[in-house]
């Protein structure tokens, strides 16, 4: 499928300048579990970053709406393959989450047809993962997120993620101390610079832990 035709079907990918590749965003307002967690004090979805800033600009909202509508298009998988195959690393849903078992099955199909791309799918949809009876491709890492800040990693999934204010579990995401050029500030330097105030931090740098099936849990510092 030609790239132009693919974009007309599934709409364009999201440009995530702080990560090593593009992503595919849906409206966080359509998250099933996340919509409930946003009203729970102390949850990882309270104060959701994807419900403010650039995510609520009209062009962004319109783009995410088109992506959501495209999920039922019978050519969606082919269209996504045409776009994603150009990526070395790809993130599903920098905003939004899985919508159904069929949605997960289609993502798995895209991963199967793009074996040279490493896929990362963060999700809070434990029910969908449990109900899915298909095979998760080896190049797709599905990370089930803990529901509460400082909560333990979910026990129902091998690859997980947590959000911490203190005492992180497993691999600690270095992004909050990582500059655009990949330089990671030491804790001392980070503190000296007033916790990075005014610096362009939040980049992945050389870290690819989120895409690695060998990393059981990735812990992110609470924004």
CA-CA distances (angstroms) from residue 3 to 20, 23, 112?
21, 16, 19
Nearest by Cα to 67 from 97, 37, 42: 97
Residue 194, pLDDT score: 59
Residue 139, pLDDT score: 98
Nearest by Cα to 23 from 96, 77, 72, 73: 96
DSSP string covering 32-101: HHHHHHTTSTTBTTTT-GGGSGGGGSHHHHHHHHHHHHHTT-TTHHHHHHHHHTT-SEEEE-SS-----H
Residue 212, pLDDT score: 98
pLDDT tens track of the chain, all 223 residues? 898 999 999 999 988 778 889 999 999 999 999 999 999 999 999 989 889 888 889 999 999 999 999 999 999 999 999 999 999 999 999 999 999 999 999 999 999 999 999 999 999 999 999 999 999 999 999 999 999 999 999 999 999 999 999 999 999 998 887 877 777 777 777 777 756 567 777 788 889 999 999 999 999 998 7
Q: Provide the 10 A C-beta neighbour count for residue 44.
A: 23
Q: Can you give the residue ranges of every domain in the chain?
A: 3-168
Query: For the whole model, what pTM was predicted?
Result: 0.90
Residue 195, pLDDT score: 61
Angle between helices 76-84 and 3-10 (to 10 degrees): 130
Task: Judge contact between 125 and 93, C-beta under 8 A.
Answer: no
Residue 17, pLDDT score: 72
Give ∠ CA 143-85-173 in degrees, rounded to 5.
30
Give 14's strand partners.
23
The helix (H) or strand (E) run that includes residue 219 is strand 217-221
Radius of gyration of the chain (CA): 17
Residue 185, pLDDT score: 79
Q: Dihedrals φ, ψ of 156, to 5°? A: -90, 0
């Amino acid at each position: 499928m030609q790239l132009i035709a693919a974009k007309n079907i599934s709409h364009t990918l999201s440009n995530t300048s702080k990560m090593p590749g593009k992503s595919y965003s849906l409206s966080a307002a359509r998250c099933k579990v996340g919509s409930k967690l946003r009203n729970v004090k102390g949850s990882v979805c309270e104060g959701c970053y994807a419900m403010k800033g650039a995510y609520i600009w009209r062009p962004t909202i319109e783009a995410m709406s088109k992506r959501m509508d495209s999920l039922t298009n019978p050519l969606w998988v082919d269209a996504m393959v045409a776009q994603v195959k150009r990526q070395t690393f790809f993130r599903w849903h920098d905003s939004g989450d899985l919508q159904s078992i069929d949605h997960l099955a289609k993502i798995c199909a895209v991963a199967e047809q793009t074996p040279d791309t490493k896929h990362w799918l963060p999700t809070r949809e434990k029910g969908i993962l449990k109900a899915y009876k298909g095979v998760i491709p080896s190049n797709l890492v599905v990370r089930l997120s803990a529901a509460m800040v400082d909560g333990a990693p979910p026990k129902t999934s091998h690859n997980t993620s947590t959000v911490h204010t203190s005492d992180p579990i497993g691999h600690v995401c270095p992004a909050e101390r990582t500059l655009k050029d990949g330089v990671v500030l030491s804790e001392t330097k980070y503190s000296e610079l007033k916790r990075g105030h005014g610096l362009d931090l939040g980049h992945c740098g050389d870290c690819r832990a989120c895409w690695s099936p060998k990393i059981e849990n990735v812990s992110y510092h609470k924004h």
